[in-house]
Amino acid sequence: MDAMLDPTVLQTLWFFLIAFFFLCYFVLEGFDFGVQMNVGAFWRRGDGTRGTILKTVGPVWDGNEVFLITGGALLFAAFPEWYATLFSGFYLALLLLLLVLIVRVCAFKWRDKVDSLRWRTAWDVVHVIGGVVPALLWGVAFGNIVAGVEIDQNHWVTTSLLGLLNPFALLSGVVFVLLFWLHGTLYLTLKVDGRLRRDANRLAGILVWPTIVAGAAFLLWFQLAHSNSPLTWIPVVVAAAALVAVVPLNRARREGSAFVATVVAIAGASLTLFGGLFPYVLPATDVPANSLTVANASSTEHTLTVMLVALVILLPLVLAYTIWTYRVFRHRITDDDSPAPGSQLLEAAKQSYRNTFEQG
């Protein structure tokens, strides 16, 4: 086999570790994006309802971004050629994504800083944009990554911006938006009560159908035209079955099971894309020899070994903290004026912090 297509065990392991971090990011941040989209979906319900919707992710959204930050750092360290080529080719899209994510942080932090309806409404608009745009950009980016782009001998992407907006990539963007929106809507059914909970159930029952159709079209197109492995038919079937299962589960108001089904669907779609991409990390559509692969884009074996040791120590801590956070903030919000879940614990921690420094 060509050495370029024959990665070592360590290189292969790191490829799928990167996939794991992005899978976690899409599952966790995916419902954050979907919840923000629902600020727009329930816009006419007023400022109080929009505030309630945002409270459901208020304590956890920034922790969810840890998986993107960590995944990006690991991508830079484990596959520097891949990282560099992505940023050279997708510079404008990634810059826009970064700007939206930064403004999104401001929306979460500043929305309730001023007691003004106009102020909160303006930030709610930002929230809607901060939900839709990143989901769309991630979809377009991954659509181009798995389908391939034009790359020259220096590993610079030569595909134009218009070329990146091809039908397959745009369909990928639409699928990411719909899937995250459905995922976030089902998350709402777990976190709110009363009328908003019933409306979220109803919206999920509507969203699931275009998500099934668009998701099936996208995954079949990828599997038939771009996948490098027949084994990825397995996660395709799993993702499809999970999405279809949302229909009866949502109708039966089995909200936890329906949410888990979208988690499985996102995981299945992620495994399909990364598994079908392997052993490439960025295929070249014009000159195949210019493609970036797991073997030729990675760091040295020594670097990968040192990183693996550090990851084995730190990853369990990150996962344990994430699980603990969701357990602390697991309660429902019952009305528009109720505090965010776990806010009493958070306020107690802040007060302890103040007392410590006052005593000093």
The full DSSP string for 335-347 is: STTSPPTTHHHHH
Cα 351 to Cα 227: distance, rounded to the nearest angstrom = 54
Residue with tokens 């969701």: 326
Distance of CA 257 to the CA centre of its chain: 20
Q: What tokens were used for 257?
A: 């099971």
- pLDDT value at residue 160: 87
Query: How far apart are alpha carbons 182 and 188 in whole angstroms?
Result: 10
Radius of gyration of the chain (CA): 21
Question: Quick check: helix, strand or coil at residue 208?
Answer: helix
Give the pLDDT confidence score for residue 89 in this predicted structure. Answer: 86
Residue ranges covered by each domain of the chain: 3-335
> Are 58 and 35 contacting, i.e. CB atoms less than 8 angstroms apart?
no
The pLDDT, as a whole number, for residue 161 is 84
H-state helical runs in the chain: 9-41, 47-55, 61-64, 66-78, 80-89, 91-110, 117-147, 161-164, 167-191, 195-225, 233-251, 255-277, 301-328, 343-359
Which is nearest to 273 in space by CA: 164, 168, 348? 168
Rounded distance between C-alpha atoms, residue 33 and residue 67, angstroms = 15
The DSSP secondary-structure symbol of 340 reads P
Q: Can you give the pLDDT at residue 178?
A: 98
**pLDDT value of position 3:** 57
Q: Model pTM?
A: 0.91
Q: What are phi and psi of 294, to 5 degrees?
A: -60, -35
Model pLDDT, residue 157: 92
> What is the pLDDT, as a whole number, of residue 5?
74
Cα–Cα distance measured from residue 112 to residue 120, given in angstroms and rounded to the nearest whole number = 7
**DSSP 8-state code for residue 114:** S
- CA–CA gap between residue 141 and residue 111 (Å, rounded): 30
Q: What is the DSSP string of 137-191?
A: HHHHHHHHHHH-B-B-TTS-B---HHHHS-HHHHHHHHHHHHHHHHHHHHHHHHH
* pLDDT, tens digit only, all 360 positions of the chain: 465 678 999 999 999 999 999 999 999 999 999 999 999 999 999 999 999 999 999 999 988 999 999 999 999 999 999 999 998 888 888 899 999 999 999 999 999 999 999 999 999 999 999 999 999 999 999 999 999 999 999 899 999 888 999 999 999 999 999 999 999 999 999 999 989 999 999 999 999 999 999 999 999 999 999 999 999 999 999 999 999 999 999 999 999 999 999 999 999 999 999 999 999 999 999 899 999 999 999 999 999 999 999 999 999 999 999 999 999 988 888 755 455 455 555 555 555 545 555 554
Give me the pLDDT at residue 164, please.
92
